[in-house]
Chain A
């Protein structure tokens, strides 16, 4: 038994080049020491409170609830500094990197939210920051590219493959293989080789810890369902974790059905439930062809445009503790527009998937939905589609 989980059921592991193995061991040791160190904890908690703005509010969305026919509470991660849940992980890992004496930080980004979060944490802690981003995502998420530049990060364009998140992760891992002795890789989701899936979950569970207390306070009961979108799966694992031991709370992960699962143009490896495989260092649900070549994902939302997923989600699915469903591009766009109109909140296209499923599916009396990020970054893309 390792101090940090390496496997979740059969999933997880460390399928990486030998060069990285010592760095993964170092990271695991550092995290085990840091998470139990009151000084580290105090510094992280103070930053989460004073800098990120935690706790984020839990808001009962009354008009959305009316439309859904049941109560919907939104966990407002969109109100965090930098506008998404990604900052919880980025700040934690940046503090850890500084503690390990690694002053060069690399990160990957799809939608740009994790890239902005990493760039922000590095500006705050005076660390060098390089963000790998596919050129297709740079086009879709231009404001975030500009934001990262302003924050002092260098954005490295990635031209390979479909020029989206999968290739950005691969490019970041190759950088890490080359510069491992000086560099920490702040991976943005609960994917990758151990200890990352557990580390990112530990840093994101603050979402669920807060939300559980808040919903008990506001509604006097636990929710029937906790619902969150799943790309790599970090906001969902964060909000799910404190509810796993509550048997009456259903956990629902919402993937991107893209143009429809049946078209093959989606980002829903858990829902499609094909043969599991190895991507980016972990054995998990993955989109692949019969030869084991990884397929390109597709989603209107750059943050869900990923053919893999966190290994703990694959195990939550197989063990029956969580269920995974998928929402199409069109359904997500409708929820994006609906939430803006009814609540005056513009959600990220990623989070719109979770809202769409909650609004459209019963039965439930009370849903807790993780509104993982704000949608400003998606305006151009969404308006383009909504007007066409």
Chain B
């Protein structure tokens, strides 16, 4: 099965199970340390993750807010490297049968060499790739390398993306369309984002054939439920879980609690 097929299947089975949207948690590889991040990934799988985004630490993460930036800094100080993240964490999650989409900034990909990087994703059983600083214009070579291997290069769209551009991005989206819910960096936002969700989801859905996943700023079961109610096929939660991974004596238990709350927020019978 290719990565593209695994991702498609994850969205289908979430729907078939009667859930309102796929739950797509993010973790930073190597945070709070490499082995704990592996166990966090496995806990995500146990707690109902349909797809897991695996972050590769980078020194200058321009799209990330303070929580994920700080987690990357911790991982880099501990000398966690890309192969550690892929084979130490990515493979373990993929072996559990949950699709892994690697989130990595452009420069570590270039430094490793595009083909070598893409091959290493295949080797560990990853299904796709998100590059937060690789807009449409810079993406062709990476898209080709992913397509050749059946990996999904997942693009991002933002509330600021104009319609004509949205159509071009949606047309070449693979796996799913990462729909940024707000204008800003990653990080938790208080209160209801629900008003914004309906507009961003319907705009995104109109431009693409692939499922629409909403991320950035979603941290509570209520927000996750609201994104599903707005029509999102998937809900991405990052900073809230990374924060939980950095708190307290038992990070695995802490993320487990948050994950089960989020899963409950997306459970079938709730009013949608």
Contacts and interface: CB of A to CB of B under 8 A. Distances in A.
A277 B107 contact: yes
Interface stretch (A65-73, A93-101, A171-179, A250-258): A171-179
B158 A17 contact: yes
A291 B82 CA distance: 7
A236 interface: no
Contacts of B69: 160
Given A174-B65, A277-B111, A13 B60 contact: no
A122 B156 CA distance: 34
A18 B139 CA distance: 12
A16 B135 contact: yes
B186 to A, nearest CB: 10
Contacts of A177: 62-63, 183-185
B108 interface: yes
Interface in B67-90: 69, 73, 76, 81-82
Interface residues of A, number: 35
Given A16-B133, A17-B133, A178-B183, A291 B160 contact: no
A290 B107 CA distance: 11
A160 B73 contact: yes
Residue picked from A180, A277, A281, A291, most chain B C-beta under 10 Å: A291
A216 interface: no
Q: What DSSP secondary structure best describes chain A's contact surface?
A: mixed
Contacts of B81: 291
Contacts of A283: 110
Given A14-B137, A17-B63, A292-B108, A178 B161 contact: no
B133 A15 contact: yes
Contact of B158 (A18, A179, A277, A279): A18
A114 to B, nearest CB: 19
B132 interface: yes
Given A13-B138, A16-B62, A280-B60, A288 B111 contact: yes
A235 to B, nearest CB: 24
A13 B137 CA distance: 8
B160 A293 contact: no
B111 A14 contact: no
Given A23-B160, A277-B107, A291-B82, A14 B60 contact: no
Contact of A22 (B110, B134, B162): B162
A266 interface: no
A294 B161 contact: no
A21 B106 contact: no
Contacts of A281: 62, 133
A181 B160 CA distance: 8
A331 interface: no
Contact of B60 (A21, A166, A178, A291): A166
B60 A170 contact: yes
Contact of B110 (A21, A173, A292): A292
B253 interface: no
Contact of B62 (A17, A22, A180, A291): A17
A148 B69 CA distance: 28
B165 interface: yes
Residue picked from B62, B65, B110, B160, most chain A C-beta under 10 Å: B62
Interface of A: 13-19, 21-23, 160-161, 166, 170, 173-174, 177-181, 275, 277-281, 283, 286, 288, 290-294
Interface of B: 58-60, 62-63, 65, 69, 73, 76, 81-82, 105-112, 132-138, 155-162, 165, 169, 180, 183-185
| Complex A-B, nearest 5 residue pairs according to Cβ-Cβ distance, in ascending order | A292-B111, A292-B108, A178-B184, A17-B63, A19-B158
Given A18-B155, A160-B73, 11 more contacts: A14-B135, A14-B137, A15-B135, A18-B169, A21-B137, A174-B65, A277-B110, A277-B111, A281-B62, A292-B111, A293-B58
14 contacts: A14-B137, A15-B133, A17-B63, A17-B133, A18-B155, A21-B135, A21-B165, A160-B73, A170-B62, A173-B62, A178-B184, A181-B160, A293-B76, A293-B108
